Structure 1
Amino acid sequence: MNKKVWLISALLMMSIILIGCSSESDEASENDISENESPTDQPEQTEATSFKVITPPDLYLVYDGRIDAAGKVDQWCWEKSGEPCNITPNPPNEVLQGFKALSIKQGEPFKLSWTSNDSSPDGRIFSFDSIEVEQIRMGEEKMIEVKNNQIIAPTESGRYFYSVTLKWTDSLKGEAHYAFSLAVHQ
């Protein structure tokens, strides 16, 4: 009988704790964004002046005919009321902590591929106007040529980090920064 009393008491205490912890207000102003939230965490607006936050496409690395690794979105912004974006990419080695590098042979081509869950009826999210790719290895930075979303891997073995910048300058104005890495081998 002593065990039953203990079990009932424990369940009662857990219920009180759970109810007490859930009494905080879950309602927040639609315009409040905490420090750790991104604008994509905001609900879609439904008024006559409504807008939907469009997120940049995801970056994937295609090697030998298959998606072999993913890049990571670092930062992005869209112009608002004519104010230009003013963001700087973070160092790729910091952005990519815990991310898999694409294992690739020296001098082999690979492609950058873009996908998105956003339903942009005109496809403008995929129609960026410029792409810049910077390679970083042991503190040395170098701009890389991109042709038809294809890049050639370095000819020296080692770990390489890349910073990718996409810019939109037409009806959609903004920029997005990405990072990815390669593990180049013979």
Structure 2
Amino acid sequence: MKKCFLFFLMLIGVTLVGCAENPALIGLKEEVQESPISKESESEKEESGNVAKPPDVQVWTDEDSTVVVLDVWCWKEVSLCSLEPNPPEEQLYGSPPLKVEPGEVFEFAISTSEIPESDHIYFPDYIELTQIRLDEEKEVEVTNRRITAPMEKGRYYYAMKLQWEGEVVGQAYYVFGINVQ
């Protein structure tokens, strides 16, 4: 009788432990989920028949390129969104930065894999670039989609805000990193 009772208790214990959520996987589920703003924005645009997703941004030098991550975005029919970008260090964790020399000029381009209804998506009305290093933020000038690297060596993060106010109305934040050597 004792053996049956112990077996029954062990069976209940194994069942409860087996059905519990694995604590090691909790963070992974959160990382895979997209931001609610992105999901809402995508469904809003698909319903209205316009652009469903912001364009891609590429950053490169003559010898190298780097990953540019789409952070947060939204599309609005009536007025502009008010978004707060996430910290670029978190968005780019594990991504190698673009390697540049002090004062080197690097470029970016805007493209999309979808067929847009309007070419306006390639030409945002407003481009704002913020350089982040050691919790210091600095506005950086963009001329003809070219950016000049800082003279001081080190790792820099950039947050790029693209804003459309014409045929397409919305905002998108992108992040990338460079390493001045």
TM over 0.5: yes
Q: Which residue of 2 aligns with 1:95?
A: 91
1:109 counterpart = 2:105: yes
**Is residue 2:57 matched to residue 1:59?**
yes
Q: How does 1:4-83 map to 2 (within 5 A)?
A: 36-37=33-34, 38-39=38-39, 51-64=49-62, 68-80=65-77, 82-83=78-79
The one of 129, 147, 151 aligned to 2:147? 151
Decide whether the 8 Å contact of 1:60 with 1:67 is kept in 2.
Answer: no
- TM-score of the superposed pair, with normalisation by structure 1: 0.71
1:169 aligns with 2:165: yes
Partner of 2:115: 119
Structure 2 counterpart SS, 1:168: strand
* Structure 2 unmatched ranges of 5 or more: 1-31
Counterpart of 2:81 in 1: which secondary structure?
Answer: coil
- 1:69 Cα offset (Å): 1.1
1:179 aligns with 2:175: yes
Higher helix share: 2
Aligned counterpart for 2:128 among listed residues 113, 127, 132: 132
The residue type equivalent to 1:114 in the other structure is I
TM-score by length of 2: 0.72
Query: What RMSD in Å do the two structures reach over aligned CA positions?
Result: 2.2
The worse-fitting range, judged by mean Cα deviation, of 83-92 and 158-167 is 83-92
Alignment length (residue pairs): 145
Question: What's the CA shift string for 1:62-116, capped at 9, x where partnerless?
Answer: 201x561121100110014x24312111111111112220011111000011121
Verify the 8 A CA contact 1:76 1:177 in the aligned structure 2: yes
Once residues 49 and 64 of structure 2 are traced to their aligned partners in structure 1, the CA distance between those partners, rounded to angstroms, is 32
1:19 aligned partner: none
Distance in 1 between residues matched to 2:106 and 2:155, nearest whole Å: 16
Question: What percent of counterpart residues are identical?
Answer: 36
Structure 1 unaligned segments of length 5 or more: list them.
Answer: 1-34
